[in-house]
Amino acid sequence: MPQSTIVTGSSSRQKFWNGVAVNVALAAICLLWTIPTLGLFISSFRDRLDINTSGWWTVFPHLDWISVNQVTPAPNVDRNQPMTLEGVTATFEQFRDGIEHNGERLIWIGNRRIGYLDVEKYQWTANTTFTLENYKQVLAAGDYTAKLKDGTTDTEIGNSMSLSFLNSLAVTIPSTVIPIALAAFAAYGFAWMRFPARKMLFALVVALLGVPLQIALVPILKDYVTLDIHGTFLAMWLAHTGFGLPLATYLLFNYISELPRDLLEAAFIDGASHFTIFVNLIIPLAVPALAAFAIFQFLWVWNDYLVALIFIGASPTNMLVTQRLADIVGSRGQDWHLLTAGGFITMILPLVVFFSLQRFFVRGLLAGSVKGS
């Protein structure tokens, strides 16, 4: 067999196994990345008692101690002394810690006075009890009445998120469109127009990427109070526009500066102005970069909590979805089972935006990464 054939076959096998290794690694990373989302989704359909007493993974078949019988000692049994229950003599403390006997576990449930002995067997089980009660309570506008497992009813105040959704849309859409529009004009100017201190101004824009958001909050808040716009949507629009402009300008500049120069020169020769070229040529050609930044900005603003808490405050009428989620969980986190349903509801719109624009996402991220000769 010729040596070249042997080398070619070895190279093909190596490429195949390299491809397999890469695909396995990517599959493992994707699996690990989606596990929290899967847990959130499953927990949103579980009963509050199940959420508080067991993990979401218990919905899958697993081995666990399952209660098969409950034994209550007779009233004349002294629970301060060793008791004989189910053929086992032990103290209350020993029963409380659990005792394994003949393949069963005997464990005391409750306190010494009114508790009982739970007889459990180790066997395969799956907690497949699902409910829509969490979603009903999160979406209910008025009082919500739930029927508990023991037959009693529990009435709680509903936590409607409809107003918060509208508020978040009122903040997120302008806070995404405004910086994109301003940054597109600025990026075109830096890329194709010549004016004094152009490079210095662009370097200043890039330097603003390194300014932490947190150090600007207090000075901006003081200015908002002076201007009497604190607690308004205008304050949020201005804040997110200012924080998003440096990255948007830098990203769009990298893309616009790599567009074919001959195309723009031909337009100038035909008498087109900068504004005509920008509207009719640059914007259609820069759609991938615009969409990529739109995804980032939309997700950042939609999921923002810190900026909203400082510039909107705790006003119930202007509360955003992130603030509403923090509010329905309770001051002590006692209602965190509602967070699963509310959190998954708030994920729907960002997912729709991402999947609608994902075909532009990679092209936009690679903007300006490959330089021409």
73 with 167, same domain? no
Q: Are residues 319 and 233 in the same domain?
A: yes
Q: What string of DSSP letters covers 135-163?
A: HHHHH-SSEEEEE-TTS-EEEEE----HH
pLDDT value of residue 315: 76
Longest dimension (CA), the chain: 106
Has residue 132 been placed in a domain?
A: no
CATH number of the domain to which 343 belongs = 1.10.3720.10
Same domain, 94 and 180: no
Three-class secondary structure of residue 260 per DSSP = coil
Could you tell me the pTM of the whole model?
A: 0.72
Query: Quick check: is 156 in a domain?
Result: no
The yes-or-no verdict on residue 373 having pLDDT over 70 is no
Condensed to tens digits (0 to 9), the pLDDT of residues 126-170 reads: 888 888 888 888 877 655 555 555 455 666 655 678 888 889 999
What is the pLDDT at residue 175?
Answer: 94
Domain that holds residue 100: 61-125
Say if residue 363's pLDDT is above 70: no
Interhelix angle 162-192/321-329, rounded to 10 degrees, is 140
Question: Of 13-17, 116-120, 139-143, 324-328, which range is least confident?
Answer: 139-143
Q: What is the pLDDT of residues 82-102, one digit of tens each?
A: 888 888 888 888 888 888 888
Answer left, alpha or beta for residue 371, where phi above 0 means left and psi between -120 and 50 means alpha.
Answer: beta
**244 and 321 part of one domain:** yes
In terms of Cα–Cα distance, which of 181, 292, 314 is closest to 237? 181
What is the pLDDT, as a whole number, of residue 370?
Answer: 46
Q: What confidence tens digit (pLDDT) does each residue in 241-259 have?
A: 988 899 899 888 888 888 8
Residues 213 and 74 in one domain: no
**Shared domain check, 351 and 280:** yes
Do 234 and 184 share a domain, yes or no? Answer: yes
pLDDT, averaged across the chain: 82
In a domain, 153, yes or no: no
Alpha helices in the chain (DSSP H): 3-43, 48-53, 92-97, 133-139, 162-192, 198-207, 213-227, 233-256, 261-269, 274-277, 283-285, 287-302, 306-311, 321-329, 337-365
Residues 302 and 189 in one domain: yes
The pLDDT assigned to 142 comes to: 55
Residues 213 and 315 in one domain: yes
Question: Is 137 part of any domain?
Answer: no
Tokens of 297: 């900005």
Q: Is the pLDDT of residue 237 over 90?
A: yes
Do residues 39 and 65 both lie within one domain? no
Last residue of a domain, one of 125, 153, 172: 125
Distance of CA 144 to the CA centre of its chain: 27
Q: Does one domain contain both 204 and 294?
A: yes
Same domain, 338 and 293: yes
Domain membership of residue 268 (yes or no) is yes
- Number of structural domains found in the chain: 3
